[in-house]
Structure 1
Amino acid sequence: MTSAHETGRWSLGSGIIWGIEVVIRFIEKHLAVLKDANPAPPVFDEDVAEGEGPQDWFNAVKDYPHELTCTELKETINRARLLAMAKGRKVSIDDLCITILAWGGMRPANRNRLFERSARPWVEIAEAIRAGAFDRQSAYECFAKLRSRKDSPMKGMGPAYFTKLIYFLMPENQQKGYILDQWAGLSINLISGGALVKMDENVAWKLKRKTPERVVSSRVSDVNTAEDYERFCNVVETLSERLGRAWTPGQAERALMSGSGNKWREYVVAERFGSLPILTTFSDA
């Protein structure tokens, strides 16, 4: 990929998508906010606890018919330690998958749906990814096909979570796949100025301090294809180049995900409402 350069409103970069070199456009004003919110690349600290503790998270479903055997789950975990765990072969695939999903904060309702049936079909894919049998696009396609089956072997786990498995399990000697959750998807769409990632959106009215406000919830749509995921990964890699030499694509993806209360997260939330139609209520009339 070549270096990016600025041209007015847009920042341009080039990348290889589906074997074809294409120009990737970034909206400069949004990119400026991302940079301001992240003056330096995120640091993956091994001493900071993140997500839910794998041991407690799995104990809630230990008696479900999932057919997993976990013997070395930790009380706390974070991204840095997970990356280190995934490098070797000492940790079993069952323990590793549970740790990844717990780290990601999978909601209890989705966790329970997922483990109400055998986990072996999707764990077998996870194990093949770890062994280097798939590139990131093929890995996404395998998970997506399994999720679409009528018997619902992956009920409760959509792209936001199975891309976490891809990210951590992909061997170092292969091109990394990146986490595509709702915040990464919304962020990359905002920066690129289009629906690069297809998002399912739900808008609802809720009372906050007796005042009606619109609340938007988003999820990465199941209609995203393996080619869409490959394109997302390519744009993340191009974005990391645009952010500077100190940045890795994994750090760029982490910056896109940000966190609750982070300046970038608040900006994405505010800008998301810009795509909604203006509504007039009786109180406004």
Structure 2
Amino acid sequence: MLSPLDAFNPVLQFRRMPAPYQQPHWNAFIEIPPNAQRAVGHAPACWASKLPDVPPHYMLPTGPLPRTQLRRICRDPRTPVLIAYLCVMAWGGQGPANAVLTWKSRTLIEPILTKLRAGGLDGLQAYQLFTAGRKSRFPGLGPSYFTKLIYFFSPPGRSLYIVDNYVLASIEILTGLPHRYRATPGGYVAACREIDGMRKILSGSGARMEARLFSGKNKDWRRHANQQVLSRSGADGYRNQMMQVYSTGKDPIPPAAFW
């Protein structure tokens, strides 16, 4: 019998519901407080200084950006899309080698960002702008980074989220469906729908739920998720599959009808 106070305890309420996700992982997830949304990544001006041919008139921010400010920059039609692009890559901490590779494709990426900013795209259409078959169109720009561009440039309310390997791993641990949410167009749509489902259960925005799934280095949920990935059987097969998807763009699992 719940006490009157326990009846309003959200954790106990979720435990009494039919469990939509895997235990004990779901309880561990909901009991860990969400991380505060702070400025992260690198200062865009410093990060972009290592790239060739960045126009000198680009007035890039000189400090790290919080998520809300970065989205305002990306959505502002007065801001050239390539300036906003550099801000996103700095926020995400894209590595130097991939940064140089991707910057070489900027004239091809620029109209895609303009199209994202204009809106009207669903998740499948947005994802396919960056892919050719099952591979990224642009060297150095994998799903972990081009889904950042999809999120920050798209209009709010489109349920288009950042889905990197940490978010994917968290979703797969919580759902118990390790092969559904992969780095493919259909897998991206499925992951975004799952994020929406979770945020409706826990209340809050989809962006906050995605950030909660991402967690952060040395954060409680990240440690829990890493333990689950590392404890998988088969000589760490799951982790190797994830590394193969994100390093080569090749999915080691044959696609199903939709995924």
The verdict on a shared fold, with TM-score over 0.5 as the criterion, is yes
Give 2:186's match in structure 1, choosing from 199, 202, 227. Answer: 227
1:11 aligns with 2:15: no
Would you say the 8 A contact 2:150–2:161 is kept in 1?
Answer: yes
Within 5 Å, which residues of 2 pair with 1:80-95? 80-95=68-83
- Aligned-residue offset at 1:98: 0.8
The farther-off stretch of 92-101 and 29-38 is 29-38
In the alignment, the residues of structure 2 paired with residue 146 and residue 110 of structure 1 have an alpha-carbon distance, to the nearest angstrom, of 21
Q: State the shift of 1:276 in Å.
A: 2.9
2:28 maps to: 33
Q: 1:175 aligns with which of 140, 152, 158?
A: 158
Question: Quick check: 1:120 aligned with 2:107?
Answer: yes
Specify which of 126, 143, 151 is matched with residue 139 of structure 1.
126
Q: Is the 8 A contact 2:98 2:139 kept in 1?
A: yes
Alignment counterpart, residue 138 of structure 2, candidates 150, 154, 158: 154
Partner Cα separation in structure 2 for residue 42 and residue 266 of structure 1: 14
Output the CA distance in 1 between the equivalents of 2:122 and 2:68.
22
> Which SS does the other structure have where 1:28 is aligned?
coil
Q: Does 1:101 align with 2:85?
A: no
**Structure showing the higher helix proportion among its residues:** 2
- Label 1:70 to 1:229 Cα distance change in 2 as closer, same or farther (>3 A): farther
Cα drift, residue 258 of structure 1: 0.6
| SS of residue paired to 1:49 | coil
Matched, 1:194 2:177: yes
Native 8 Å contact 1:129 1:169 kept in 2: yes
Q: 2:112 is matched by which residue type in structure 1?
A: I
CA RMSD between the two structures:
2.6
Q: Which amino acid aligns with 2:197?
A: T
Distance change in 2, residues 1:59/1:147 (3 Å): farther
* AA in 1 matched with 2:232: S
Matched residue, 1:164: 148
- Confirm or deny that 1:239 pairs with 2:247: no
Which 5+ residue runs of structure 2 have no aligned equivalent?
Answer: 1-12, 237-259
Q: Deviations over 1:210-237 (max 9, x none)?
A: xxxxxxxxxxxxxx33221111100000
The verdict on how the C-alpha distance between 1:29 and 1:250 changes in structure 2, with shifts beyond 3 A counting, is same
Task: Give SS of 1:165's match.
Answer: helix
Counterpart contact for 1:97–1:165, Cα < 8 Å: yes
The answer on whether the counterparts of 1:166 and 1:177 sit within 8 Å (CA) in structure 2 is yes
Q: Percent identity?
A: 25
Q: What per-residue deviation string (whole Å, max 9, x for no partner) do you get for residues 97-151 of structure 1?
A: 1101110111112112222x231112211110101142222010111128847xx
Verify the 8 A CA contact 2:199 2:205 in the aligned structure 1.
yes
Change (3 A) 1:278 1:98: closer
Count of aligned residue pairs for this structure pair: 222
Q: Is the alpha carbon distance of 1:147 and 1:274 closer, same or farther for their aligned partners in structure 2, counting shifts above 3 Å? A: closer
User: CA distance change for structure 1 residues 69 and 148 in 2, over 3 Å: closer, same or farther?
Assistant: farther
Report the Cα offset of residue 62 of structure 1.
3.0
Give structure 1 stretches of 5+ with no counterpart.
13-25, 199-223, 280-285
Kept after mapping to 1: 8 A contact 2:15/2:27: no
Distance 1:278 1:137 in 2: 33
